[in-house]
Amino acid sequence: DGLHQLERLQALGQGNGGTVFKVRHKQTLALYALKVMYCDRGTPPNPQELNILWQTNSPYIMKCYQVFTEPSGEVSILMEYMDNGSLESYVKSHGRLSEDLFGTISRQVLKGFVYMHSKNIVHRDIKPSNLLINRKKETKIADFGISKII
């Protein structure tokens, strides 16, 4: 499997040196998010982001499935797709969160923090646009572009 197996459907946003696309696998039709970064000689602006994504295994952190490095210097990270987008965009389109939903999201984010703390990871950019939600109201911490392992 390679990048040629993925069809770009739409740009989802930009952040920390890359553009994120919604993509579909041409054979399985599974949906993913693909973060594309242009880098010098295949080295991402912050290689720590890849290290963190590969090392984490938590239901509260974005899953990374594969990394592609192109001869042009482009590095692409294939990640799970969160169909409700960011918490920021969710609130803009749905209005204030109910108390129940706020509690659900808060618990999941705090569990993500506990997990990151256990792995000595400092995110350094937690904000509503870096918290992603799916239709099941599962919330995941994303965008480790300026994170550090301490």
Q: Which residues are annotated as a binding site for ATP?
A: 35
Q: How big is the CA angle at 13 (ends 10 and 16), to the nearest 5 degrees?
A: 140
3-class DSSP state of 1: coil
Q: Which one is catalytic: 83, 100, 125, 143?
A: 125
Q: Which residues are annotated as a binding site?
A: 35
Contact between 135 and 101 under an 8 Å Cβ cutoff? The reply is: no
* 103: Cβ contacts below 8 Å, ≥ 6 apart: none
What CA dihedral angle connects 70, 67, 42 and 6, to 10 degrees?
30
* 86: Cβ contacts below 8 Å, ≥ 6 apart: 13, 128, 129, 130, 131, 132, 133
- Gyration radius of the chain's alpha carbons: 15
Residue 143 catalytic?
no
Task: List, by residue number, the catalytic residues.
Answer: 125
